[in-house]
């Protein structure tokens, strides 16, 4: 699969690069960004943190706003930030910000017109890691993290693929999408009206079924205006307790849903993942 490098910049002695490629899973062109720390080399591959962004975002939001490069460079961790959905002419879309392009919800759509392109689960779990590992000086050791819709993606993907990731973290995740407006709208469109099929992508339901075998870190701002209506962390905590899952939840006083919040704690999340990556 050919990659086209569309931008690059040196940062903290590493490199931030953007690429585009044709995705066979999503049936469209896709873009992603990668940060390679200064110690990344073919004879010394580095572990990877996959970052999943939230509604309306692209690969650029985290890379430009989170301030993650200094810590990642020191820890020797690569960061990969994919786009949040398929895009382009002929890709189904919606006028609302919370459905369609920019709002893929990291699932495999089964309903038309979405099913033709919206296979983000397979893209994140299978196609993108294979592409990254075959083209960059990285190892197969990886963790996953995200924010809001991307926090939902990180949790649900990590919990369903516990042998593939060392750790999970999330900022302000949509924890119980089946029970909130954002998730109900997206799941109805992408998956149809059978709510049993939704459970495969709901982190609360996944934790009710089985223990999380890997450590999870969640940061949530207590001044987040989406907290009560859209995020539902209490349901996630209750589900985690059923099987004594390793979930650390931190309520952060005064923080909201923005990238100011993420920038304040991203170094701690990278430290968290580095510790568990090194244990591999």
pLDDT in tens, 35-93: 999 999 999 999 999 999 999 999 999 999 999 999 999 999 999 999 999 999 999 99
**Of 23, 143, 148, 167, catalytic:** 148
9 burial level (CB within 10 Å; 0-12, 13-18, 19+): exposed
pLDDT surpassing 90 at residue 279: no
The domain in which residue 230 lies consists of 3-278
> What is the residue-averaged pLDDT of the chain?
97
pLDDT at 186: 98
Mean predicted confidence (pLDDT) in 243-252: 97
- The catalytic position among 117, 147, 152, 257 is 257
Domains in the chain, number: 1
**Any catalytic annotation for residue 148?**
yes
**How far does Cα 77 stand from its chain's mean position?**
16
Predicted confidence band at 1 (pLDDT cuts at 50, 70, 90)?
low
User: Given pLDDT bands bounded at 50, 70 and 90, which one contains residue 142?
Assistant: very high
Active site residue 276: no
User: Facing residues of 270 across strands?
Assistant: none
Q: What is the CATH number of the domain that holds 137?
A: 3.40.50.1820
As a whole number of angstroms, the longest Cα–Cα distance in the chain is 50
pTM over 0.95: yes
> Could you give the CA distance from residue 172 to residue 54 in angstroms, rounded to a whole number?
10
- Which of 152, 219, 224, 276 is flagged as catalytic? 224
Q: Is 224 a catalytic residue?
A: yes
């Amino acid at each position: 699969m050919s990659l086209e490098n569309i931008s690059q910049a040196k940062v903290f002695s590493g490199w931030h690069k953007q690429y585009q490629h044709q995705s066979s899973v999503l049936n469209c062109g896709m873009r992603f960004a990668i940060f390679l720390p200064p110690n990344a080399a073919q004879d010394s591959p580095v572990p990877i943190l996959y970052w999943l962004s939230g509604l309306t975002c692209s690969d650029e939001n985290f890379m430009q706003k989170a301030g993650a490069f200094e810590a990642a460079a020191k820890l020797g961790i690569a960061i990969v930030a994919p786009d949040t959905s398929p895009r382009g002419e002929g890709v189904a879309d919606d006028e609302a910000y919370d459905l369609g392009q920019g709002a893929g919800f990291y699932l495999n759509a089964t309903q038309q017109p979405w099913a033709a392109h919206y296979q983000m689960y397979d893209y994140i779990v299978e196609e993108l890691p294979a592409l990254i590992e075959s083209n960059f000086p990285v190892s197969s050791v990886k963790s996953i993290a995200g924010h809001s819709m991307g926090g939902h993606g990180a949790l649900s993907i990590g919990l369903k693929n516990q042998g593939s990731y060392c750790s999970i973290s999330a900022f302000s995740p949509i924890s119980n999408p089946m029970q909130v407006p954002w998730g109900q709208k997206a799941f109805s469109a992408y998956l149809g009206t059978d709510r049993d099929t939704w459970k495969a992508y709901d982190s609360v339901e996944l934790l009710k079924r089985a223990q999380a075998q890997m450590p999870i870190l969640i940061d949530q701002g207590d001044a987040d205006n989406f907290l009560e209506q859209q995020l539902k962390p209490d349901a996630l905590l209750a589900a985690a307790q059923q099987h004594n899952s390793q979930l650390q939840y931190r309520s952060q006083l005064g923080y909201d849903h923005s990238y100011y919040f993420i920038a304040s704690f991203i170094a701690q999340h990278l430290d968290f993942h580095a510790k568990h990556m090194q244990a591999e």
